[in-house]
Chains A and B, each alone.
Chain A
Amino acid sequence: MSTAVRRLPGLGPRDRVSGVRVDGDGVRARARQEAVLDVFFDGRRILSFWLHRDGVRDGDGWLFAWPKTLREFLEGTADVRVVVTRTGEEVFHGEVSFGSGRGRVAVVNQNGQPISLDKYLRRVVAFDTRTREELEPMLDAIDEVVAALREVGIEAFLAYGTLLGAHREGKVIGNDSDADLGYVSRLSHPVDVIRESFRIQRALVAHGYRITRYSALAFKVDVEEADGTIRGLDVFGGFLMDGYLHLMGEIRERFEESWIYPLGSTTLEGRTFPAPADPDRMLAAAYGASWRVPDPAFHFEPPATTVRRLNGWFRGLRVGRARWDRIYSRVLQGMPGPSPFIEWVADMEGALGTFVDVGCGRGADALHMSERGEPALGLDFQPRAFATAQELSVDNHLVTYWPMNLLEIRQVLAVGAIVAHRPGRTVVTARHLVDATKKPARDRLWRMCRMMLSGEAGGRLYLEFLVKDGSDGYAGEQRVRRRKAAKIVAEVEQWGAQVVHRETIPVSDKPGASKVCRLIVEWRPADATEGR
């Protein structure tokens, strides 16, 4: 494992860090060899970084600039310490003033909980801010999910950082913030292990858990703790094929079944949990031969062949999603009003059997249609997007919101079939969806619309998307990219539909306004059996 040893900074004799200075820009230091450094504010670890990998050249040394995720907190004064992770040597200690310098720097979230940055410099509530008692609910959650998986025939074990902490120190890793479980399927073909993962998902949902799928072989299980907070536990699936262990997210290594089964056990915070038969080999597969040396800034760097395999077999269900997840991770206040588009649609249509808004976002248009007396369904892949609308409409039985990911065909076909069976005329809208998605997602949209709209009662699809990027910043505001109307028309025609109306209108009467195209699309009943 020479690569892993080379990858780990801090093993060389010339591993000296000197000239460390801290100010509003970041941390400056000199070091001939790569070094991992921890930064503490007022005695609490805030982040760790690799000086060369994460820094930039600065004179005869390096500058690690404060990441964007930290900068907004840098106002006031802090007692800053910089420590070499491996040796614990303090290379800087002093009072540092940020911004106006008034008050103490407070790195806390909206609820006032102390936060730190993880290895990818994302904000997390790390374990080192919690007491042993505060960890108890998470340990209960691990027990609960392991038991639930055992019930469906899956032998799960602690994995990644959770296994590392347990096996190395018997404790959670201070800079870690979540718990990871893994399992290795007894099946050995990608198709079979995916189907098994779907089966596990169904069984867990039947037990009342909410599942968020990361890939065809990994998902998150939400466990509700005693005080009502929701904790997500990651479950990474794996399998053995051709002498290799493949484990989501990043492992493909030569491995033997006897290194996993029969499972052994390990101790975490005084409690016993299942572990692979040979945890040393599992940790070496995950973190390299140097797994025993703590590295809070560790980045996975699997070989390209591993990434290609795991991507090709199991990924692609979340393309373009991170951006929207981020947008909806904030608490969005209030409820927007209906769009001009939905008012136009409502004017064109009479009484409906079902109204469906695909990519409904906050859900305002579906809510509006239900308030007009139409049974409405809002679909979006991020349930947090429509959470407020859902809360506002608990007494409104005409509107429903379902999570649906266009890239998961099981969801698309099931929703399509259910809506197709509903009586009466169906109207589907997709506002700023085709200009926010790429062709694979759009193909699923056309397929679903064809299912929903080619029944006897008929129906229509209404589209609105950006066709001309003006100087008004509309594209950025809506987070869309211009599409050629002819291209979208060609796509729907390929799926057996006809465009019965087409217009292009400015989004406002201001000069330089962007323009959107509106299409009305129909599938005649006969079209349903044609095409793909």
Chain B
Amino acid sequence: MPPKDAEKAGKKDGGMVERLRSTRAGEALDLRRRVRRLEAEVQECRALNIRLAELTDIVTELLLPVAARDEDKLAELLEKYRQSV
């Protein structure tokens, strides 16, 4: 059962799940589940490396040449962007 559902179920049956959790086996299960979630979250963070590299690449390769050709337009775009953040 995902942790969220466990919490809900715990409330419904008067803390039964909470009581089970406080046993040693319950704690081990709970920790195992938390480690699994943490591993998934670490993977999500690792995936940002590739996204960041892709975007940096496109910015350095495309935006800089664009800037060199049309300063006014870029200034306008930048100002508009600045106002929107």
Contacts and interface: CB of A to CB of B under 8 A. Distances in A.
Interface residues of B, number: 18
A311 B58 contact: no
A314 B51 CA distance: 10
Main secondary structure of the interface of B (DSSP, over half): helix
B46 interface: yes
Given A312-B47, A410-B58, A413-B58, A198 B42 contact: no
Contacts of B54: 194, 198, 408-410
Interface in B38-62: 39, 42-43, 45-47, 49-58, 61-62
Given A216-B53, A410-B57, A308 B47 contact: no
B50 A216 contact: yes
Given A311-B46, A409-B55, A410-B54, 14 more contacts: A190-B46, A190-B49, A190-B50, A191-B52, A191-B53, A198-B57, A308-B42, A312-B42, A312-B43, A313-B46, A313-B50, A316-B47, A408-B54, A417-B62
A308 B43 contact: yes
Contacts of B57: 195, 198, 410
A308 B39 contact: yes
A309 interface: yes
Contacts of B46: 190, 309, 311-313
A408 B51 CA distance: 9
Given A311-B43, A312-B42, A312-B43, A194 B50 contact: yes
Nearest to A311: B43
Main secondary structure of the interface of A (DSSP, over half): helix
Contacts of A490: none
A226 to B, nearest CB: 34
Given A410-B58, A413-B58, A414-B58, A195 B53 contact: yes
A410 B52 CA distance: 11
Interface string A262-283: 0000000000000000000000
Interface of A: 190-192, 194-195, 198, 202, 216, 308-309, 311-314, 316-317, 408-410, 413-414, 417
Contacts of A192: 53
B63 to A, nearest CB: 11
Contact of B49 (A313, A410, A413, A414): A313
B60 to A, nearest CB: 8
Contacts of B42: 308, 312
Contacts of B45: 312
Nearest to B46: A312
Interface string B24-35: 000000000000
B53 to A, nearest CB: 4
Contacts of A198: 53-54, 57
B80 to A, nearest CB: 10
Contact of B53 (A194, A202, A312): A194
B58 A195 contact: no
Given A308-B39, A308-B43, A316 B58 contact: no
B49 A194 contact: yes
11 contacts: A194-B49, A202-B61, A216-B50, A308-B39, A311-B46, A312-B42, A312-B47, A409-B51, A410-B58, A414-B58, A414-B62
Nearest to A440: B47
B48 to A, nearest CB: 9
